[in-house]
Amino acid sequence: MVPFSQAAYFICLFATVSCGCRTQLYPNVFFRGGDVTAMYTPSARHCQVMCTFHPRCLLFSFLPASSPNGTDKRFGCFLKDSVTGALPRVPWTGAISGHSLKQCGHRISACHRDIYEGIDMRGVNFNVSKVESVEECQKRCTNSIHCKFFTYARQTFHDAEYRNNCLLKHSPTGTPTSIKVIENVASGFSLKSCALSEIGCHMNMFQHTAFSDVDVARVITPDAFVCRTICTYHPNCLFFTFYTNDWNIESERNVCLLKTSKSGTPSPPAPQENTVSGYSLLTCKRTLPEPCHSKVYAGVDFEGEELSVSLVKGASGCQETCTKMVRCQFFTYSLLPEDCQGDKCKCSLRLSLDGSPTRITYGMQASSGYSLRLCRSGDSSVCTTKSNVRIMGGTNSSWGEWPWQVSLHVKLPAQSHVCGGSIIGGRWVLTAAHCFDGLTFLDIWRIYAGILDLSEITVETPFSRIEEIIIHQNYSTTENTNDIALIKLEVPLNYTEFQKPICLPSEDDTNTIYTNCWITGWGYTKERGEIQNILKKTNIPLVPNEECQKRYREYKITKQMICAGYKEGGKDACKGDSGGPLVCKHNGIWHLVGITSWGDGCGRRDQPGVYTKVAEYVDWILEKTQKRDGQSLMKSTA
Ligand SMILES: *[C@@H]1O[C@H](CO)[C@@H](O)[C@H](O)[C@H]1NC(C)=O
Ligand SMILES: *[C@@H]1O[C@H](CO)[C@@H](O)[C@H](O)[C@H]1NC(C)=O
Ligand SMILES: *[C@@H]1O[C@H](CO)[C@@H](O)[C@H](O)[C@H]1NC(C)=O
Ligand SMILES: *[C@@H]1O[C@H](CO)[C@@H](O)[C@H](O)[C@H]1NC(C)=O
Ligand SMILES: *[C@@H]1O[C@H](CO)[C@@H](O)[C@H](O)[C@H]1NC(C)=O
């Protein structure tokens, strides 16, 4: 029999991005039943975000303005749950349905930038001002602590008195209380969840301090950190107070009180033993915490409704099982002798109405924790490659430092290293399209993973063969555009400390400012050099595209490219590095930001290297890999 983890491995061939992740939208379809809650949203995409962040929602149906049914249903966003993950589909003209993006790692974001023309999103109007543009109105909303969404009356608005009015709004749920079609107005949401607020945030937490003020919600959490993350993603929480397990009233232990106030700040706090207080991080600049909780808590039981029970090896295995089962919100792994068989013990997957345990009990022979389904990095065993940054200066890499790096060899009949590449899934390697110029015959390729020193490769060294090469349809050799290719391996790689995938950035990362970036490869270290034996690494700054364009007057630097290099030259990618990774560490996780593509010479002064910008191709990568994983899934079950 195939053990569970093994079976899951074969089903989730591309676990970092697609296992359980379903991004399709279904036009003219409405899901019947399974209703959890309903609200008004301006679009199906926004409805999908609401579904993703709702603890129970797996499916949604949205009725746009054109929907023929009653006016009260227009702009209706219906969030749904289903034990099987599916619901009956009813044909409904104009309706749009789809799945939550839970488990979609790279796509999980509460950030919603769209501006909607011709609709008025209603709520509590708490501030009116005159501004020149809808963007300025959105910025005001982003920088106003209570603002959730806004409506702007354009210059062409029929009533002259209201023209250029910027109305800042809030509501109990953070979504509009209704939506009306009105000409010459535009509406949108605060960009706080895009980490664009300039308000700034308080990261400090205060021991033995309790805030009074209004409670907007109450949840059970194991510690103040989980309480803070929940506050950050709650529509109306500005600050919180957490009552620890030592609090004297038993029924209030582990209670996390989410709070707000009219002024936006708490009233003077009171000293209070066994409490911890702090603030929402939603107004932080540049970066927000992930909407998930990864810590495993020893000695505690998270109580809730039981979803399923299985025997699993280790608490982290139980967490992985919970993460893969999309309805699982949290788990308890029992270590009681009667709950164990050999090295496996009882793993209980659980859920509740609000996504938090209904009770936390201490002193148990058990460990508990949460599903990682909303972690951007997804499954912790796969791409949260948090390898340590080593000492700078040295250029030789060490074992396991860049475990996603592969070496692409061609045997014709002599064998040599041609390009680099990056592992992004069990069967998938991402590289540059130009590596295959004139070399599209599959049998000549040999892919080496988990290799540091090329000179150690012998006839016995195992390698992977290529099943399929997918070159971007619009790759152009003359313009160096769309220089990206996917390699599908014949046999999936087994992940180890020395060969495992790197996270893809998300589409929302196209504007992320990366500060800690590295390139790696076995390429030349000087223009007329030779292939290096030991994998080399270089810490390199990114160069803004406008700057890069000035250095390459004869070429067009498109927004699908990203440049990197030092002004004084000297550090760059060179021949043999092509196809290899430009990686940046962001929020503790390595992301594949670029693919080494081209440059004028190597490390020349004022000539940065040009890389294919991976964030621009995430949808392409998903489309290609999902389509084909589906096929291989069918093959492996046949
Ligand atoms: C909405 O309209 C569709 C026809 O497009 C109809 O089939 C459906 O029953 C209506 N639903 C409700 C709730 O009125
Ligand atoms: C509305 O917000 C602006 C800042 O965006 C502030 O200067 C103004 O005082 C506020 N008006 C009211 C009535 O609160
Ligand atoms: C890198 O490794 C090579 C081969 O082992 C060695 O000759 C060289 O001295 C090393 N360079 C550094 C900077 O450690
Ligand atoms: C390729 O280019 C064509 C024409 O510019 C465009 O319509 C198409 O969407 C592009 N394909 C991809 C996958 O980008
Ligand atoms: C991966 O591991 C399995 C089980 O140990 C083994 O049968 C398989 O050959 C391995 N795959 C590769 C590519 O090494």
pLDDT beyond 80 at 571 = no
Please give the share of the chain, as a percent, with pLDDT higher than 90: 59
User: CB–CB of 168/126 below 8 Å?
Assistant: yes
Q: List the residue whose alpha carbon is closest to atom 9 of ligand 2.
A: 127
Task: Give CA–CA dist 399/403, Å, rounded.
Answer: 8
Task: Give CA–CA dist 252/232, Å, rounded.
Answer: 21
Q: Is 265 in the pocket of ligand 3 (CB under 6 A)?
A: no
Q: Tell which atom from ligand 4 comes closest to the C-alpha of 620.
A: 13
pLDDT beyond 70 at 546 = yes
Kindly indicate whether the domain formed by 115-194 is annotated with CATH number 2.160.20.10: no
Which range is most confident: 50-64, 65-79, 199-213, 567-581?
50-64
**Superfamily name and number for 403-489:** Trypsin-like serine proteases (2.40.10.10)
Q: Give how far the C-alpha of residue 425 lies from the chain's centroid of Cα atoms, to the nearest Å.
A: 16
In b/e form, how buried is each residue of 108-120, taking b as 16+ CB within 10 angstroms?
bbbbbeeebeebb
Average pLDDT over residues 246-267: 95
Residue 260: predicted pLDDT: 97
The ligand whose atoms approach the alpha carbon of 61 most closely is 1
CATH topology of domain 25-107: Hepatocyte Growth Factor (3.50.4)
pLDDT beyond 80 at 3 = no
Where do we find the tokens 């938090």? 356
Between 92-106, 444-458, 461-475, 596-610, the lowest mean confidence (pLDDT) is in 596-610
Residue 12: predicted pLDDT: 32
Sign of CA dihedral 493, 497, 498, 500: positive
**How distant, in Å, are the alpha carbons of 163, 165, 537 from that of 184?**
9, 12, 54
User: CB–CB of 68/11 below 8 Å?
Assistant: no
pTM of the predicted model as reported, rounded to 2 decimal places: 0.61
Residue 524: predicted pLDDT: 60
Q: Is 490 in the pocket of ligand 5 (CB under 6 A)?
A: no
Task: Give CA–CA dist 208/270, Å, rounded.
Answer: 9
pLDDT level of residue 10 (50, 70, 90 thresholds): very low
How far is the centre of ligand 5, averaged over its atoms, from the C-alpha of 492 (Å)? 8
pLDDT level of residue 589 (50, 70, 90 thresholds): confident
Q: List the residue whose alpha carbon is closest to atom 10 of ligand 5.
A: 494
Task: Give CA–CA dist 607/563, Å, rounded.
Answer: 9
Average pLDDT over residues 67-96: 88
CATH topology of domain 205-279: Hepatocyte Growth Factor (3.50.4)
Residue 631: predicted pLDDT: 39
How far is the centre of ligand 5, averaged over its atoms, from the C-alpha of 399 (Å)? 21
More confident residue, 344 or 633: 344
Between 54-68, 126-140, 389-403, 441-455, the lowest mean confidence (pLDDT) is in 389-403
Between 79-88, 97-106, 382-391, 485-494, the lowest mean confidence (pLDDT) is in 382-391
Q: What is the pLDDT of residues 273-287, one digit of tens each?
A: 999 999 999 998 767
Q: Tell which atom from ligand 4 comes closest to the C-alpha of 474.
A: 1
Residue 377: predicted pLDDT: 53
Residue 14: predicted pLDDT: 32
Average pLDDT over residues 457-480: 92
**Kind of pairing between the strands at 330-334 and 344-351:** antiparallel
Q: Give how far the C-alpha of residue 511 lies from the chain's centroid of Cα atoms, to the nearest Å.
A: 14
Please give the share of the chain, as a percent, with pLDDT higher than 70: 87
Where do we find the tokens 């949205």? 62
Q: Tell which atom from ligand 5 comes closest to the C-alpha of 492.
A: 13
Nearest in space to 55 (alpha carbons), one of 274, 354, 316: 354
Q: Tell which atom from ligand 2 comes closest to the C-alpha of 128.
A: 1
Q: Is 534 in the pocket of ligand 3 (CB under 6 A)?
A: yes
If one residue of 390, 392, 396 were mutated to test the ligand 3 pocket, choosing by the most ligand atoms within 8 A of its CB, it would be 396
Between 6-15, 474-483, 564-573, 591-600, the lowest mean confidence (pLDDT) is in 6-15
Task: Give CA–CA dist 77/550, Å, rounded.
Answer: 47
**How distant, in Å, are the alpha carbons of 144, 400, 619 from that of 231?**
17, 37, 31
Q: What is the pLDDT of residues 133-190, one digit of tens each?
A: 999 999 999 999 999 999 999 999 999 999 999 999 999 999 999 999 999 999 999 9
If one residue of 474, 486, 620 were mutated to test the ligand 4 pocket, choosing by the most ligand atoms within 8 A of its CB, it would be 474
Q: Is 394 in the pocket of ligand 3 (CB under 6 A)?
A: yes
Residue 428: predicted pLDDT: 94
Q: Is 93 in the pocket of ligand 1 (CB under 6 A)?
A: yes
Residue 29: predicted pLDDT: 94
- Would you give the DSSP letter of residue 433? G
Q: What is the mean pLDDT of the chain?
A: 86
Q: Is 199 buried (19+), middle (13-18) or exposed (0-12) by CB count in 10 A?
A: middle
The ligand whose atoms approach the alpha carbon of 619 most closely is 4
Between 50-64, 390-404, 521-535, the lowest mean confidence (pLDDT) is in 390-404
**Kind of pairing between the strands at 178-189 and 149-153:** antiparallel
Q: List the residue whose alpha carbon is closest to atom 14 of ligand 4.
A: 474
- Ligand 4: residues whose CB is within 6 Å? 473-474, 620
The ligand whose atoms approach the alpha carbon of 28 most closely is 1
Domains in the chain: boundaries: 25-107, 115-194, 205-279, 293-370, 403-489, 507-615
Average pLDDT over residues 9-32: 62
Domains 25-107 and 403-489 share a fold: no
Task: Give CA–CA dist 389/395, Å, rounded.
Answer: 13
Residue 388: predicted pLDDT: 36
CATH topology of domain 507-615: Thrombin, subunit H (2.40.10)
Q: What is the pLDDT of residues 373-409, one digit of tens each?
A: 998 654 433 454 444 333 233 377 877 789 999 999 9
Average pLDDT over residues 599-618: 76
How far is the centre of ligand 1, averaged over its atoms, from the C-alpha of 93 (Å)? 9
Q: Which residues are catalytic?
A: 434, 483, 578
Q: Is 491 in the pocket of ligand 5 (CB under 6 A)?
A: yes
Residue 585: predicted pLDDT: 81
478 contacts: CB under 8 Å, gap ≥ 6? none
Q: Round to the nearest angstrom and report the end-to-end CA distance of the chain.
A: 16
Q: Is 192 in the pocket of ligand 2 (CB under 6 A)?
A: no
Residue 497: predicted pLDDT: 76
Task: Give CA–CA dist 307/372, Å, rounded.
Answer: 16
Q: Which CATH number fits domain 293-370: 3.10.150.10, 2.40.30.10, 3.50.4.10, 3.90.1150.10?
A: 3.50.4.10
One-character DSSP codes across 101-168: -TT-GGG-------EEEEEEEESEEEEEEE-S-HHHHHHHHHTSTT--EEEEE-TT-SSGGGTTEEEE
Q: List the residue whose alpha carbon is closest to atom 2 of ligand 5.
A: 494
Q: What is the pLDDT of residues 342-367, one digit of tens each?
A: 999 999 999 999 999 999 999 999 99
618 backbone dihedrals φ, ψ, rounded to 5°: -60, -40
Residue 343: predicted pLDDT: 93
How far is the centre of ligand 1, averaged over its atoms, from the C-alpha of 621 (Å)? 37
